[in-house]
Amino acid sequence: MAADSGAPMNPATAQVVMWLSKFSAALEAADAAAAANLFEEDSYWRDLIAFTWNIKTLEGRKQIKAMLAATLDNVKPHTWRVEGEATSADGVTEAWITFETAVARGYGQIRLKGDRCWTLLTTMKELIGHEEKNGERRIKGAEHGASKDRKTWLDLREQEEAELGYSKQPYVLIIGGGQGGIGLAARLRKLGVSALVIEKNAKAGDSWRKRYKSLCLHDPVWYDHMPYLPFPADWPVFTPKDKMGDWLEMYVKVMELNYWSNTTCQKASFDEASGTWEVTVKRGKQKVVLRPTQLVLATGVSGFASVPEIPGAETFEGKQHHSSQHPGGEGWEGKHCVVLGSNNSAHDICADLWEHGADVTMIQRSSTHIARSESLLELGLGSLYSESAVKNGITTDKADLIFASIPYKLLPAFQVPIYAAMKQRDADFYARLEKAGFLLDFGEDDTGLFMKYLRRGSGYYIDVGASELVADGRVKLRSGVTISQIKPRSVVLSDGSELPADLIVYATGYGSMSNWAAKLISKKVANKVGKCWGLGSGTTKDPGPWEGELRNLWKPTAQPNLWFHGGNLHQSRHYSQFVALQLKARSEGIPTPVYGAGKVHHKE
């Protein structure tokens, strides 16, 4: 189990090589117990489809042993190597590793405590014999010589676009043409899998363009690259929404994606006998019936608007809409605007309305975590996603893997010191917010923003300026209350007070992605699949049991041939490769026995 280089190994590398040698021997002997005993009692193995054809974390020796006993005959792992040099600090040795299975090449990361493994990440990198046509494998793009039957690149593209969905059916249909859907489609095209994306908007990127003018990404550029095409080196740290819309439209064209805009899915049903879907869509004025084998809902984690039912809403004489439909603050100068909510969209919309001269009141129903953007970048993301990280050789792919190597069970312990430092650094800022009456928290266990996001995705704001408006009273605040009644020109709060209102914006979040399955397919299928998102952490909005991974994202579900793909730009980019590999394997007839999937059904 040698390292890649022929140079002498440092002690840390030698330690990892020794462990891999023992591990490999146990695996080759199909001795699951011996392999599991090489792990700490309190250990974690996170596998991204390489062993399990699933997104799965094994916790402790017992679970690791059970997984290996069930999968070794099929996986046949071998050729374990250390890539580069291992490092050691604070009693933990870390190294990057490569390996192969019966059907794939893998990549991963290992952390040792002494002579036992503490955490192991294994990921499928590529399917052997079905690699992307990159580098030396790239296509020529031209046929030299003379031919009377020659078809140019444009001829072939136009033929493909004319046939797909009509005389030829896509293997994969992706519903949702935002960053998640098109990033996955790009991965599938690189793998030679026929895929079609449908999007209700007129253009790719319109889901961004149609939002309020001041919207920009709250995450930094290094965190938000798309697959294959990173943003240019002079791209803004925080991307304006129209610039993002233009980028996505360009991405669809450059990546040669089959993309139907102005297309809505009306209904979908699965034929158990044929193992295919029947999906009725409306493309412009035309009704088309598609019959893909695989159906991917890439409609976004934050895509199904949740609007509360409030008595009297039907009597309101002003304007009311969900935050996802808010076009901007134009026309509201001097008007009374009430924003129900206190998370990202609520803050952004309050700031937008204030900038346009409106009288704005934020209704904060419950406590909210606030993280200043600069502090989050420097204390939280900067070590992996920043200019300094790039200079230190941490590519986006490497950063994604480092992040993925931390099991969700351990992630809170990694987050607590980050937010403790943030609380100390920004103490004056938080004190001013609390003095204004804002209800602050740092999560139920002081783990901050990212754990809140994973545990049902609410209760936080990445501050890019709106908090200052709240702190000094330019945006009015009513906290610890909600809207209990709506009158023709006012809202009544739960404490009995009344506010004049010309506009009500419901910044009240979004429902589970499984709501889309209920709407497009059936409630029966949605109930069969269960919830999407959340870890089962036992916190208020994320009840147990503990799952260890996000529910139903990027992996097989209880409904055959139905997939959910989404998350923020970072998650969509990173996990799209594993969704694509799973779909490619199925398209090629490669056996994909899913381990640890509960009620998941899959035809081999």
Same fold, 11-127 and 157-304+511-587: no
Residue among 15, 55, 48 at smallest CA distance from 548: 55
Q: In what order do the strands lie in the sheet with 172-175?
A: 259-260, 195-198, 172-175, 294-297, 562-564
Write down the pLDDT at residue 459: 87
CATH 3.50.50.60 fits 157-304+511-587, yes or no: yes
pLDDT at residue 599 in the model: 47
Amino acid code (one letter) for 104: A
For the purposes of burial, counting CB atoms within 10 Å of the CB of 540, is it exposed (0-12), middle (13-18) or buried (19 or more)? exposed
Burial 362-374 (b: 16+ CB within 10 A, else e): bbbbebbbbbbbe
Residue-wise pLDDT tens digits, 284-330 = 999 999 999 999 999 876 557 889 999 999 999 999 999 989 989 99
Q: In this structure, what DSSP letter does residue 184 have?
A: H
Kind of pairing, strands 78-89 and 39-48? Answer: unpaired
Residue 105 CB coordination number (10 Å): 16
* Record: fold of 308-508: FAD/NAD(P)-binding domain (3.50.50)
The pLDDT assigned to 604 comes to: 29
Confirm or reject CATH 3.40.1020.10 for domain 11-127, answering yes or no.
Answer: no
Element housing 587 (H / E): helix 569-587
Cβ atoms of 347 and 463 within 8 Å: the answer is yes
Q: Nearest CA to 170 among 603, 593, 592, 561? A: 561
Question: What is the crossing angle of helices 179-190 and 241-254, to 10°?
Answer: 20
Whole-prediction pTM: 0.94
Reported for 44-47, long-range contacts at CB under 8 A and 24+ positions apart, including other chains, are 44/118, 44/119, 44/120, 44/407, 44/409, 44/410, 45/117, 45/119, 45/120, 45/121, 45/122, 46/119, 46/120, 46/121, 46/122, 46/404, 46/405, 46/407, 47/121, 47/122, 47/123
What per-residue confidence (pLDDT) applies to 9?
Answer: 86
How far apart, in whole angstroms, are the C-alpha atoms of residue 61 and residue 59?
7
Determine the pLDDT at residue 457: 63
- With a cut of 50, list the residues of the chain below it in pLDDT: 599-604
What DSSP designation does 42 have? E
Q: How far apart (Å, rounded) are the C-alpha atoms in residues 457 and 541?
A: 9
Q: Residue 211: its pLDDT value, please?
A: 84
Domain chopping of the chain, boundaries: 11-127, 157-304+511-587, 308-508
Nearest to 126 by CA among 578, 553, 586, 593: 578
Q: Exposed, middle or buried: residue 439 (CB in 10 Å: 0-12, 13-18, 19+)?
A: middle
Q: For the chain, how big is the Rg over CA atoms in Å?
A: 26
Q: Which pLDDT does position 3 carry in this prediction?
A: 58
